[in-house]
Structure 1
Amino acid sequence: MFNSKLKKENQQLREDLMSMEQVKDSLDSEMLVLQLDPQGRIESVNANFEREMVYRADQLLGRSLKRLSRRTSRNSISMSA
């Protein structure tokens, strides 16, 4: 009885995980995704982010998001002037 309850819970957890992975994959294919560490440094970006921001991941990883946003803002201002 105890074993069958654990098996059922384990199966439910696997189904939940599969569902969450499908949501993540869907978001990753449609959106710009950026992951930061607790200090605000870029840990990962998806291909959409690289394409839209015109940066390669190797140019971004380990850099501060604040630094990137200031640089992007300055570029936007200078391009519009």
Structure 2
Amino acid sequence: MNDYDTLLTELEQQLNELTETNTKQSEQIQKLTTVNHSLTNQNKQLQRLIDRLTTQNAKLNNENNRLMSLLQTNKKS
């Protein structure tokens, strides 16, 4: 019975260690999931900002081209 008890004790210890590891990993997964959601939201906000800035840049480029064209026209006159 002694060998059996020793084996049982070792198995219980291994189970406890695995359970502890599993718990820690679950906590890490929860934290990483929270971070992932936060980064996803930040990415969406940044993408909206990029879209707005791209639109604004296109408008400014158009205005710049218009003004350059006027300048060239005035130089020719």
Greater relative CO (CA pairs within 8 A, separation 6+): 1
Tell me which protein shows more helix as a share of its residues: 2
Determine which structure has the larger strand proportion and give its number: 1
Give the structure-2-normalised TM-score: 0.45
Larger radius of gyration: 2
